Amino acid sequence: MSNVLKIKKGVEQGANELLKFLLESEKVKGIFTLRKMNENGAVSYSLITHPKELQNAVPLFPLMPVNAGKILSGFTLKKAINEPIAAVLRSCELRAFIELIKRTQGSLENFLLISSTCGGVYPLKSLTDGTYKEQVSQYWESAKNAEISSDIRPTCAACEYFIPQQADMTIAIVGKNDLQQECSIFLNTKKGEEFTIGAPGNIVSEDIDTKETAKLREKRQEQKKKLFDELEKNGSGIKALVKTFAACLSCHGCSKACPICYCTLCDFDSKTHEYLPSSHEIELEQKEGIRLPPGTIFFHIGRMIHMVVSCVNCGMCSDVCPVNIPVSTIFSKVGDSLQKLFDYLPGKDIEEPVPFGTYKEEEFTEIGE
């Protein structure tokens, strides 16, 4: 049970109300949240410092133009912020941010973290082709009924970590059948409580895990299994991989969009992995044919080796892929089982070391004997 701030307004307006309060009462210097850019639905993250700009804030808008974790990392890369800023971000974005901080790519200091029980987001395509408009209308319905909203990102539909781990406040959406009338903001930390002193609305005590959230988690888990099983359709082994990545342009957009891929210059874009004409010719002799540019599969599995243990399944990689490769599905499948193996949930605990920066003497002892 934790304290819940109830604002007698629809969940979206309620959220804005909260942000308005935080900014106007000068409890925070600014608010980092999604903002409407134009009428055809373009939204982008913004640091809002003036209350009047809040009218365009759409903190819960079901779209993820970029993974906010990546942005906040860049924001605090040089140094931590020295004045409180409220950041509204989704569970997977928060987890990404924490994974990045573990790699000294930013700092949590002075952030007031506001998150929500996440109903998922729509693919960016639905924005470009306009389909999101009718989708959004049913989004809140399904969220309310703890259903999987149709047409959301595949990884979202299969995401069981929709209840944020480290947020100071969590805006309840999933399974809140009164969300049209009331906005429930769970105050998970002391910080959360302090910042809401004097906020509009009343405090009650509730539990964030409900039958509904359990129900959605179950559905998502089923969906996850389905999603992963579908991958098998391509068969397995190298042939399957080749089919999957057949259309890959080697643009490496997936790594650029990935919040965990934090390297300034990706190893796979560096000279280290360039070929000499002679190495091409050797391979040409062996195979009588080589794909150019080379190393398509090497890149994807290599990138996997580097980051998949921290993959938060946000789905950005799939969304930016110009040739619709289900990158995120593949990565979350591998990530899922690998993370289980190392008993590691990315972004769950900021103190928990990244699996490949540590080891236990008494583990995997059967190996090597």
What part of residues 9-48 is at the interface with other proteins (CB under 8 A)?
29-30, 32, 35, 37-38, 42, 44-48
Q: By C-beta, is 206 or 352 nearer to other proteins?
A: 352
Question: Exposed, middle or buried, 120 (CB in 10 Å: 0-12/13-18/19+)?
Answer: buried
Dihedral, CA atoms, 202, 204, 209, 210, nearest 10 degrees? -100
Q: Does 292 bind other proteins (CB under 8 A)?
A: yes
Q: Binding string to other proteins for residues 82 to 121, with x set by CB under 8 A, is what?
A: xx-------------------xxx----------------
Closer residue to other proteins (CB): 66 or 345? 66
- Does 320 bind other proteins (CB under 8 A)? Our answer is yes
Residue 171: partners with Cβ closer than 8 Å, 6 or more residues away: 11, 14, 15, 18, 59, 60, 114, 115, 116, 117, 183, 184, 185, 186
**Phi/psi-derived region of residue 120, left when phi > 0, alpha when psi is between -120 and 50, beta in every other case:** left
Query: Of residues 160-189, which lie at the interface with other proteins (CB under 8 A)?
Result: none
Segment near other proteins (CB under 8 A); pick from 9-17, 178-186, 344-352, 354-362: 354-362
Length of the chain as a residue count: 369
Give the nearest distance from C-beta 284 to other proteins in angstroms.
6
Q: Partners of 112 in the beta sheet?
A: 86
Task: Assess 269 for contact with other proteins (CB under 8 A).
Answer: yes
Binds other proteins (CB under 8 A): choice among 58, 66, 108, 345: 66
Which one of residues 203, 214, 247, 350 is an interface residue with other proteins (CB under 8 A)?
247
Per CB under 8 A, which of residues 202..241 are in contact with other proteins? 232, 235-241
Residue (of 232, 228, 216) closest to 91 by Cα position: 216
Q: Does 144 bind other proteins (CB under 8 A)?
A: no
Is residue 257 within the footprint of other proteins (CB under 8 A)? yes
Q: Give the pairing of strands 85-88 and 30-36.
A: parallel
Structure tokens belonging to residue 240: 């399957």
Q: How far apart are CA 217 and CA 260, in angstroms?
A: 24
Q: How far is the CB of 267 from other proteins (least distance, A)?
A: 4
**CA-based radius of gyration for the chain:** 22
Helix (H) or strand (E) holding 2, with range, is: strand 2-7
| Residues 328, 305: Cα–Cα separation, whole Å | 14
* Binder of other proteins out of 10, 84, 200, 302 (CB under 8 A): 302
Q: Is 272 in the site for other proteins (CB under 8 A)?
A: yes
Chain mean position to CA 171: 17
Return the residue of 252, 344, 348, 352 that touches other proteins, per CB under 8 A.
252
Which listed residue (197, 287, 343, 351) binds other proteins by CB under 8 A?
A: 287
The least distance separating other proteins from the CB of residue 51, rounded to whole angstroms, comes to 8
Q: What is the DSSP letter of 41?
A: -
Residue for token pair 């009164």: 178
Could you tell me the smallest distance in angstroms from the CB atom of residue 80 to other proteins?
7
Q: Which is nearer to other proteins, 163 or 260 (CB)?
A: 260
Nearer to other proteins, 39 or 211 (CB): 39
Q: Tokens 């899922």 identify what position?
A: 336
Cβ 56 to other proteins shortest distance, Å = 8
Phi-psi region of 200 (alpha: psi -120 to 50; beta: other; left: phi over 0): beta
175, with CB counted inside 10 A (0-12, 13-18, 19+), is buried
Q: What is the largest CA-CA distance in the chain?
A: 75
How many binding residues for other proteins (CB under 8 A)?
127
349 binds other proteins, rule: CB under 8 A:
no
Query: Closer CB to other proteins, residue 77 or residue 208?
Result: 77
In which residue are the tokens 């360039």 written?
A: 274
At closest approach, how far in Å is the CB of 254 from other proteins? 9
Q: Which stretch binds other proteins (CB under 8 A): 12-20, 170-178, 201-209, 317-325?
A: 317-325
Q: Least distance (Å) from other proteins to the CB of residue 188? A: 24
